[in-house]
Structure 1
Amino acid sequence: DQRFDTIRSLGNKHIVTPHIDSLVHNGTTFTNAYIMGSMSGAVCVPSRAMLMSGRTLFGLEGTGKTIPEEHLTLPEVLRKAGYTTFHTGKWHQDKKSFARCFSTGTNIFFGGMGNHWNVPVNNFDATGSYPRNQRYKGDKHSSELFSDAAVRFLRDYKDDKPFFVYVAYTAPHDPRQAPEKYRQMYNPEKIVLPKNFLPEHPFDNGEMKIRDEKLAPWPRTPKEIRRHIADYYAIITHMDAQMG
């Protein structure tokens, strides 16, 4: 959901991302990894399946909504090697694959998108069923909800076993809702439009108006796109702050 060019240390001088920058400088950055797109209106589903499995778009099961048993994932490998595998946040794949991947977790969101201030989540269920009647609504912004869950796990973990923590933020997926403090950091009038901005696609392959028209109508004006970019930067900076 977050483009590489929304990270300050990777070249965007218009956004504030100090904690992600720290990960870039002190961790590993996959600068030659590319999201291959999607065969549906949503890129968030296959991108997460590709990330977990290491497979290309065309090697996934369908759109990536289901990860079959024969598609081994990173957390599965680590779990089989003796790691405790913890998840918090979004899992847009199937519950069976989640049960194979993770041995524990909390504030687990099985879904694609929704109100960041009212995310329906589950606690870890060893049976793997995660019934709807056991869901509860988060009492804070999704980025804060998931970060707090990860911090609690790290604080309380006493086992000698190694662990793997997967914090899958819903942000910056739309709706781009950030606290007002972060929205005030980006004035839409000062947002620099990308050089390739166009009000509308220059051609129509029959698949151009499936998802994006829900965000803004066509043709799009520079003013409208500046507002969207400002909101995008705001929710990213808020997410970054939760990593600090």
Structure 2
Amino acid sequence: MKQIVVLALLVSAFSFAQPNIIFIESDDQSNLAVGAYGFGGISTPNIDALADSGVYFTNAYNMGCWSPAVCIPSRTMLFNGVHLWKASKINKERVPGLSLTERLKDKGYETYFTGKWHALGKSVKETFNHYGTITPGQLKTYHSPEGHYTDIVGNEAVAFINSAAKKESPFFLYVAFNAPHVPRQTEQKYYDMYPKAEIELPPSVKAGPLHPHIKYNYTSAPLNPKTMQGRYQQNNAMVTHMDDRIGDIFEALKAQGLYENSIIVFMSDHGISFGENGVAGKVCLYDISAKAPLIIKGPGIPTGKKLKQRLYLQDIYPTLLDFIGADIPDYMDFKSLKPIIKKASEKDVYKSIYLAMFDDQRSIIQGDYKLIMYPKVNVAELYNLKNDKWETKNLISKSGTTTIVKKLLTEFVQWQEDTGDELDIKQAFPEYFN
């Protein structure tokens, strides 16, 4: 009888063993730079394999920024769980609550960090049990005496996995690659995979003037498609290099028998434009820059499911808490995706999507339509995303669109109230509020 009780306790303990969490984040990687998302022939076999073994989202948005370094707002929202304008007020002394890392530590996770840290609030050394190389938000070079930083970060992640496998406690491994952020330096073999002249550019890349209302472009006018082919070549090469190191991480998990009982997340902080819509940069609200890959795999998660509903990248914080049975605090603004992930459901997460950058760009997306506004110059753009995914046909001057814009603005004003957005949109566009 005693043996049966002991066996039952062991089975019970095993059943409730917390999964390890491996969270891999890249920097400046759009959906176009992942093979599984279906554009341009980029080689990302390991990221694609993760998508095949889990759920991946094609419309995951970063809410916006208050900084030209869009990664800072994105990562600050990610680790603190609050919307854009609340996140902008965070510092080391003023945080809304425990960070993602701290909550996982409270649930018994051993935590490790390697790579880029570029978020407001507490530092890596204050919040993680262990850490490896901590790189700045902007590298001057990827080359160091110890090697290429993509390789260093990948190798440190593998070393931690091999060490953590010997311990009983679950672990949270946050691997933050700087790639494919500038300077786009990698080995020649990766550049050679993407001959510049053969690079396919999206149809929204056209020679000519830069967008007149977008700041922080990383090229000079007029926009040159050949230059943009070079940017794509460099970007793709950096991503494929990173994908190789991601493959090493997966192989280490499998070799240690940890792969199946691990939640693995891959995402980027935001996308980037290489000439699309007249933009060469990331401080804009077009989908190529505002969206980024989001993939999750783990025990009980369906495999090979592509979900198209719109949501936020930062929803992954409460999602992870939900998957390990931790309480989601009331102050948290983002939403758990667990209900739709478990069933691979197409159910909407949000009624609409709000996007904002500084005080000079705003957007609202609902149904088929996306409204982008430039309040300082009283200019607006309207796109039907169902019929025009590249956002090339501005419908704002078409007859019959005023009703659509007014409906979108009603939704936008509600978001302003909910997020604490103090911009006076009614003053900027009085013609839609009469």
> Which bracket does the TM-score occupy, shorter chain normalised?
0.7 to 0.9
Range that drifts further, 216-225 or 191-200: 191-200
Find 1:203's aligned residue among 212, 215, 225: 212
For residues 111-136 of structure 1, the C-alpha deviation after alignment (integer angstroms, 9 at most, x for no partner) is: 33331113xxxxxxxxxxxxxxxxxx
Distance in 1 between the 2:91 and 2:176 partners?
Answer: 16
Aligned equivalent of 1:236: 239
> Cα 1:7–1:65, aligned 2, differ >3 Å: closer, same or farther?
farther
Find 1:178's aligned residue among 176, 186, 200: 186
Distance in 2 between the 1:3 and 1:66 partners?
Answer: 30
Aligned equivalent of 2:402: none
Provide the TM-score with structure 2 as the length reference: 0.47
Find 1:222's aligned residue among 214, 225, 228: 225
Map 1:161-176 to 2 at 5 A.
Answer: 161-176=169-184
* 1:58 correspondence with 2:85: yes
Distance in 1 between the 2:171 and 2:195 partners?
Answer: 41
> Cα 1:28–1:48, aligned 2, differ >3 Å: closer, same or farther?
farther
Which protein, 1 or 2, shows the higher relative CO under an 8 Å CA cutoff with sep ≥ 6?
2
CA contact (8 A) 1:92 1:112 kept: no
Q: Give structure 2 stretches of 5+ with no counterpart.
A: 1-27, 248-434
CA contact (8 A) 1:67 1:97 kept: no
Distance in 2 between the 1:67 and 1:218 partners?
Answer: 43
Higher strand share: 2
For residues 12-38 of structure 1, the C-alpha deviation after alignment (integer angstroms, 9 at most, x for no partner) is: 241000001111122343444201232
Map 1:19-98 to 2 at 5 A.
Answer: 19-62=46-89, 68-94=94-120, 96-98=122-124
Aligned equivalent of 2:284: none
After the TM superposition, which parts of structure 1 deviate over 4 Å for at least 4 consecutive aligned residues?
64-67
The structure number with the bigger radius of gyration is 2
* 1:144 correspondence with 2:151: yes
Q: Secondary structure at the match of 1:241?
A: helix
Provide the TM-score with structure 1 as the length reference: 0.81
Range that drifts further, 174-183 or 194-203: 194-203
Give the aligned residue type for 2:43.
V
Give the aligned residue type for 2:148.
H
Aligned equivalent of 2:162: 155
Aligned equivalent of 1:17: 44
For residues 87-144 of structure 1, the C-alpha deviation after alignment (integer angstroms, 9 at most, x for no partner) is: 00000135734234311111122433331113xxxxxxxxxxxxxxxxxxx5111110
CA contact (8 A) 2:199 2:229 kept: yes
Give RMSD over aligned pairs.
2.1
CA contact (8 A) 1:67 1:94 kept: no
The offset of 1:55, in angstroms, is 2.6
The offset of 1:203, in angstroms, is 2.7
Q: Give structure 1 stretches of 5+ with no counterpart.
A: 119-137
For residues 142-162 of structure 1, the C-alpha deviation after alignment (integer angstroms, 9 at most, x for no partner) is: 110000001001112222111
Distance in 1 between the 2:117 and 2:42 partners?
Answer: 27
Task: Number of aligned residue pairs: give it.
Answer: 218
Aligned residues: percent identity?
36
CA contact (8 A) 2:37 2:58 kept: no
Q: Secondary structure at the match of 1:88?
A: strand
